Amino acid sequence: QKEVEQDPGPLSVPEGAIVSLNCTYSNSAFQYFMWYRQYSRKGPELLMYTYSSGNKEDGRFTAQVDKSSKYISLFIRDSQPSDSATYLCAIQNTNAGKSTFGDGTTLTVKP
Amino acid sequence: NAGVTQTPKFQVLKTGQSMTLQCAQDMNHEYMSWYRQDPGMGLRLIHYSVGAGITDQGEVPNGYNVSRSTTEDFPLRLLSAAPSQTSVYFCASSSPGQGKNIQYFGAGTRLSVL
């Protein structure tokens, strides 16, 4: 079993829709939770990070962590065509300083 | 504001050839890592370094060598290229602070091995 499992997609939604992207993890030692966005033919870039259970909001994006269920989500409100990208969850054990990535979910937002 | 710079952007090799993928960062980050990304498989860690002179293996190290003589540079060497090494390679750097390790990625090197 992989340490991080991500909903595979691909996902295609109309502009303005609410998008939910999800990952589960198996190791309770993980303490930092990150979402990276990767546009086509580009490197990943950090979108959001959080370290506690609950919600963290940044504009149209909300990261949600449920440590009891080992489940993390990224919600995108009022999705835009510019949100079309691959989204990668990444989870980190603070002692290791390394991140373990999910396989990514490719999102297409159609105008 | 260069960040993480990878060269070359594209490369085609024949089976058995060797080459070095270059990675340089100008953010004075202690940590540097190499990943490969294959379709549907996310990012897999090849090798990483927590400082000059210190390297360690990641998830898929076979067929690759690294060294870190300076803080800025972290080259990845393919010793004898194989078709299974056809992939997109990303270098990342980070400076762990307060426990979290936010990585900054280069634009990638697309490698084809024929």
* Tens digits of residue pLDDT in A9-56: 899 999 999 999 999 999 888 788 999 999 998 999 999 988 888 899
For the residues B39-58, what does the mean pLDDT come to? Answer: 90
The dihedral through the CA atoms of B60, B62, B64, B66 has a sign that is positive
User: Is the bond leading into A10 cis (omega within 30 degrees of zero)?
Assistant: yes
Higher-pLDDT residue of A90 and A95 is: A90
Higher-pLDDT residue of B17 and B100 is: B17
* pLDDT for A32: 87
Longest dimension (CA), chain B: 45
* pLDDT for B99: 60
Which of chain A's residues have a Cβ under 8 Å away from the Cβ of B30? Answer: none
* pLDDT for A70: 92
In angstroms, what CA-CA distances link B60 with A78, B84, B111? 39, 12, 16
Nearest to B43 among A49, A97, A101 (CB): A101
The whole-angstrom distance between B15's CA and the closest CA on chain A is 25
Are the Cβ atoms of B90 and A101 closer than 8 angstroms?
no
For the residues B66-89, what does the mean pLDDT come to? Answer: 96
Are the Cβ atoms of A43 and B40 closer than 8 angstroms?
no
Give the residues across from A75 on adjacent strands: A20, A62
Ranges A95-109, B49-63, B76-90: which has the least confidence: A95-109
* pLDDT for B48: 92
Are the Cβ atoms of B31 and A88 closer than 8 angstroms?
no
Task: Render chain B in DSSP notation, one character per residue.
Answer: ---EEEE-SEEEE-TT--EEEEEEESS--SEEEEEEE-TTS-EEEEEEEEETTEEEE-SS-TTEEE--SSSSB--EEESS--GGG-EEEEEEEE--BTTB---EE---EEEEE-
Higher-pLDDT residue of B9 and A32 is: B9
Higher-pLDDT residue of B62 and A93 is: B62
- Residue A96, pLDDT > 60, answer no
Longest dimension (CA), chain A: 44
Residue B59 φ/ψ region, left for φ over 0, alpha for ψ in the -120 to 50 degree band, beta for the rest: alpha
Residue in chain A nearest B34 by alpha carbon:
A98
The pLDDT confidence band at residue B78, using thresholds 50, 70 and 90, is very high
Are the Cβ atoms of B43 and A88 closer than 8 angstroms?
yes
